[in-house]
Structures are given as C-alpha cells and as structure tokens.
Amino acid sequence: MNAVTLPTDAPKGSKRIKYPIQIILLAALYFAGGWIGLRQDFYQESVTLIWPPSGLSLAALILYGRRLWPGVMLGALLLNILHGSTVPISLAISVGNTLEALVSSWLMVDYFDFRPTLARVRDVAVLLVIGGALATIISAGNGVTTLWLAGNVATDDFFSVMLLWWLGDLGGVVALTPFLLLLRNGSPAWSILIRDLEFWIVTSLLIVSCLLAFGGIAHVGIERLAMQLPLPCLAWAGIRLGTRGTVVVSFSTIAIAATATAQGLGPLAANDPHVSTILLWAYGTGMGATALTLAAAIAQRNSAEHRHRLEIEQRERSERENLLSAERERIMREMHDGLGGQLVSVLSMVQRGQASADEVAEALRRSLDDMRIVIDSLETRESNFPELLGKLRARLEPLLQRNGVRLQWRVDDIAQLGHFGPEEALHCVRIIQEATANVIQHARATKIDIEISIAGEDRETMVIEIRDDGIDSIPGSQPGGRGTRNMIDRARALGGALRIEPAEPGRRVRVSIPINERSADQTNASK
C-alpha cells in the first residue's frame, strides 16, 4: 500500500521512466482539480467551497504510495503561482497541502490498518476522522497563517477563513476520496454495476431529486423537501448496490449540491459564504458518511456471513473426512479380527491337512456370515441397532441348527436405542457372536438363550445375556483368554461391564450398558 508494486524483473530504466510520469500525471490532475475548485471561491479567490485536490492527493498516496508526494507539491505550487500568488506564498501553501496528504495517508495506512476497499465500518470512520477531519487542519492552518502573514487575511477573519478552508478540504476528502479509491477497489465489479438495472433506477431517481432540490426550478418549499429525497436513494444504494454503487450515488449528490450552491442555487445558498459552506459541509458529510457507513456495514456483514459459511463447509468437510477415516479403520479392524482371523485359521488347517471338507465348508460359512454382518452394519447410520440385531438372528439360526443347538431369542423394546451408531451396534453384535462361537465350539450345549432387555427403574441400562446349557468351563473364555478380553474391551468401549458366571446348567455371559448417559451425551454432541 505504501508504494506502487512493480515486477521484480522490470528493467531499472522502466522504473525511472514510470516514476516521473506518475509525478507529472498527479501534478496535472491536482492542478485541474484545483482550477475547478477555485472557480467556486468564496474568499479573495483563495478559499473555496470545496477543494477536490485534497481528496485526489489523499487517494493517490494511499493507492500508489507516499513516494508520489512530489506530484502533490508540484501541482499545488503551479496552481498557486498561476492563480496569482507570489512564489514564497505559493511554496508555503504547497508545503501545507503536501503535508496534509502525507500525514493522513501515513496515519491511515500504517497506524490504523486502512483498507481502500471501504468494506469495513472502521475504514469509513478512519477516512472521515483521520483523513477528513484531522489531517485537513494541517493545510487549513498552514494556508491561512501564510495568507495572514502576507497581509491577505485580516486578523479578525483568521478563524472564520480557516474554518472555510478546513471545511473545503474536508468536503474534498468526503466527496472525492471514496470515489477515487473505489474506482480501483470495491465491489461489485464495474461491468456488473453498469449492467445492473437497479443501479440506473437509483441513479435516475437521485438526479431527479437533486434537480428538484438544487436546480432552481422548484418553489423554495419544494426545494427544502426535495433535499431529503436523496437520502432514501443513498440508503437503497448502501443496502443493494455495494460500496461502488453507493459511492457513485453519494459523489453525485455532493457534486450536484456543491455546484448548485456555488452558483447561488438551491436551499443551501446564502449571502454569507460561511453559512453556505457550513450548510453544504453538513449536508454533504451527512449524506456521504451515512451512505458509506451503511454500505460498509452491509459489506462487513456479508463478508462475515461468507466466512461463516466457509467455516461451516470446512467443518462439515472435516467431519465427513474424519467419519470416513474412522469408518475405514473400523471396517479394517473388524475384517481383520473377524473374517481375516477365520480365513487364516481355515488356511492353516488346510495346509496341515487337519481339516475335513465339512469343517472347511463350515468355517467358510462362518466367514461369509461374519462378512455379511459387517456389511449390514454399513447400510444405515440411523436407528440401525434393532435392524442389525434382526439380521444377526437370521445369520445365527442356521449356524446353530447345523451344530445341533436350539436358539431361544428374546428382545425387549429397544426403540430408544436408535442413537446407537454402527460402531456401537457392531460392538454389541460382536459380543453376542463371540459368546455364541464359544458355545458352539466348546460347550457341547443343546440350547442357547440370547436375551436383550432394558433394566432399571428409569430404564437406564441395556442388558445382554447369553445363556447355554453346556459345560461351565470353556477354553478361551477364561479371564485371561483372548475371546474374553475382546468381549471385555468391547463392553468397556460402550461404557459398560461384562461378567461371565456359572448358571444352572451351563454358564451365562452378562453385559450391562448404560444408555441414558449415552443418550445425553449424544444429545449434547448434537447441540
């Protein structure tokens, strides 16, 4: 922001040529703006109603860097000399004009993080307060003091002339600087704005209202009433047309009001130049500041909403990726521990020649059943636990029948367990599978009862019981066995506890899982 950015591979000669051209161009524009402003002079052809060069120089130093200050100095010096001032007076006034632009751009950019897009309310405030109200005191104080020392301003008029000078510079900043800044920055793009029918409707209504107020074609009472008509147009622009559309509308309003008032037309014109200047300053500043602030507030809100949407999308994307990763890991673990382990066992038996065709077929059936259970757990993420239990029963019954074991299956009303996700449901299924497999392989049982119920006074616990009528001692299901460790780990993952105890006859595997706490946790997580 403090200098024009040039390509790093640009020849040094091109930089030397470009910089002088920028200086000359800025000086020429400063001179032209000052010449237009002095056509509206109010005091000894030196103090003007509105001073466009103050807004031009500030915008130039903000956009292209403070190194262009010689352009401001040269333009101001030539303007004052050609306007009839002596060289010493012209030089002194030029120094003040240059310092105004330098100090304001330095404070705004380096100390207040000013952004020329005017997309934040603070940027508008910094422009109006630092660039408009405060820094212009430098030029006004220096210029009037120079004229007073030269005898061109009477002592009694010192402060009133300084006020006029200050208001003129402030008017130039308020009217012109936002327009110049947003020629290069801001939104929407000019191509979009020009094609926007709404922009032309607002602009047309604004011109009509300004002509009624300042064109001298209406009765005085109508003029005073029409003075307020641009305000709805400015509010409309601020809400709907972005910062660029708003600044075009506000600049047009101030320019028409200033030109008409300088020609003695409209309700702001008065015999006393002080009164006219103050009225115009109040009107222009009020209109411009209101429109720019509204546009910046809308742009800031839209930007915040856009960032919020991006954050939500990023969070959702991250959650989906994490969920996919966790699901992938779960599937890999289940396939490895279940299907993978069974296939490895079958392969080992076949390689050692210890397995009959029936045993291999049975092992492969179990592997297929295990694979189907894993696939079943992936079919839905909502209310899948009861459905998965139903599919488990359909897988277990043929297996138990082939091994001469009768299945007794009882399931309580577990509709409230719909919040169980695939991993939680699969933990429960795996516990039932492990216990059932131990019964088939080692217990020599003829009957197995599988019961799932909701217990407790407040129905806060789900209980899974697997009972058989076989022998009590089962290899692999003792406290140190791998099967028991797997079941205990899965019960702990569910926040519950698992016990294996003798029954009459046989034995019983009992798993207690708290469900109210899990429901509360799930509810809090969703919030």
Query: Is the confidence at residue 40, as pLDDT, over 60?
Result: no
User: Which pLDDT score, from 0 to 100, does residue 516 have?
Assistant: 64
Q: Which residue has the higher pLDDT, 431 or 419?
A: 431
Q: Residue 315, class by beta-carbon neighbours within 10 Å (0-12 exposed, 13-18 middle, 19+ buried)?
A: exposed
Q: What is the pLDDT of residue 426?
A: 76
Instruction: Judge whether 512 and 488 are in contact, CB under 8 Å.
Output: no
SS3 content of the chain, % helix, strand, coil (to 5): 70, 10, 20
Q: Does residue 422 lie in a domain region?
A: yes
Quick check: 354 pLDDT over 80? no
Burial readout 245-254 (b: 16 or more C-beta within 10 A, e: otherwise): bbbbbbbbbb
Report the CATH number at residue 415.
Answer: 3.30.565.10
C-alpha to C-alpha distances, 356 to 310, 353, 363, 368, nearest whole angstrom: 61, 8, 11, 18
Q: Is pLDDT of 71 > 90?
A: yes
Q: Mean pLDDT throughout 144-156?
A: 89
Least confidently predicted of 16-25, 220-229, 429-438, 449-458:
220-229
- The amino acid at 145: T
Q: What is the pLDDT of residue 12?
A: 45
Q: Looking at the domain assignment, is residue 429 inside a domain?
A: yes
In this structure, of 33-42, 180-189, 280-289, 374-383, the range with the lowest mean pLDDT score is: 374-383
Domain CATH number, residue 101: 1.10.1760
Strands 461-468 and 507-514: antiparallel
For 430, 453, 464, the CA distances from 417, given in Å and listed in that order, are: 17, 11, 13
Fill in the amino acid letter for 188: P
Count how many domains the chain has.
2
Sign of CA dihedral 99, 103, 109, 110: positive
Separation in Å, CA 301 to CA 121, 305, 334: 10, 6, 48
Question: Is the pLDDT reported for residue 402 higher than 70?
Answer: yes
pLDDT, position 290:
81
Q: Say how many Å lie between the first and final Cα of the chain, rounded.
A: 44
- Enumerate long-range contacts of 107-115, CB under 8 Å, 24 or more apart: 107/135, 108/62, 109/1, 109/2, 109/62, 110/2, 114/62
| Residue that terminates a domain, selected from 112, 138, 153 | 153
Q: Is the pLDDT of residue 26 over 90?
A: yes
pLDDT band at 331 (very low <50, low <70, confident <90, very high): low
Residue 515 domain flag = yes
Range list of H helices, 65-196:
69-82, 87-106, 121-126, 136-149, 158-184, 190-194
The answer to whether residue 361 is domain-embedded is: no
- Asked whether the predicted pLDDT for residue 203 surpasses 80, the reply is yes
Give the C-alpha separation, 490 to 423, whole Å: 10
pLDDT of residue 507 exceeding 70: yes
Q: Residues 6 or more apart from 131 whose CB is under 8 A from it?
A: 58, 104, 105, 108, 173, 177
The per-residue pLDDT for 481 is 63
Give domain status of residue 477, yes or no.
yes
Residue 330 is predicted with a pLDDT of 63
Asked if the structure places residue 121 within a domain, the reply is: yes
- Asked which of 113, 134, 153 is the last residue of a domain, the reply is 153
pLDDT confidence of residue 91: 93
Q: Nearest to residue 452, comparing CAs of 504, 501, 515, 517?
A: 515
Q: How far apart are CA 109 and CA 133, in angstroms?
A: 16
Domain extent at residue 430: 404-526
User: 286 versus 159: which is more confidently predicted?
Assistant: 159
Which of these three, 134, 153, 172, is where a domain ends? 153
Arithmetic mean of pLDDT, 389-412: 83
Q: Tens digit of pLDDT for each residue in 479-495?
A: 456 677 878 888 888 88
State the pLDDT at residue 224.
Answer: 72
- What is the pLDDT at residue 20? 87
Nearest to 486 by CA among 498, 503, 475, 474: 498
Residue 467 CA to residue 451 CA, distance in Å, equals: 9
pTM of the model: 0.56
Q: Judge whether residue 30 has pLDDT over 80.
A: yes
pLDDT band at 247 (very low <50, low <70, confident <90, very high): confident
Which is it for the CA torsion 207, 208, 209, 214, positive or negative? positive
pLDDT digits (tens, 9 = 90+) for 73-128: 999 999 888 887 888 999 999 999 999 999 999 999 999 989 888 888 888 889 98
Mean pLDDT, residues 338-351 = 68
Residue-level pLDDT at 9: 39
Give a yes or no: residue 166 inside a domain: no
The CA distance from 462 to 496, in Å, is: 9
Give me the helices (H) in 335-420, please: 341-352, 357-376, 385-402
Lowest mean pLDDT among 231-245, 328-342, 496-510: 328-342
Q: Distance between CA atoms of 464 and 370, rounded to whole angstroms?
A: 20
Angle, vertex CA 129, rays to CA 127 and CA 133, nearest 5: 110
412 located within any domain: yes
H/E stretch holding 227 reads: none
pLDDT of residue 526: 41
Percent of the chain's residues with pLDDT above 90: 16
What's the mean pLDDT when you consider all of the chain? Answer: 79
What is the per-residue pLDDT for 106?
A: 94
Alpha carbons 253 and 207: distance in angstroms, whole number: 8
Looking at per-residue pLDDT, the higher value among 211 and 139 belongs to 139
Average pLDDT in the 53-77 region?
93
Q: Is the pLDDT of residue 301 over 90?
A: no
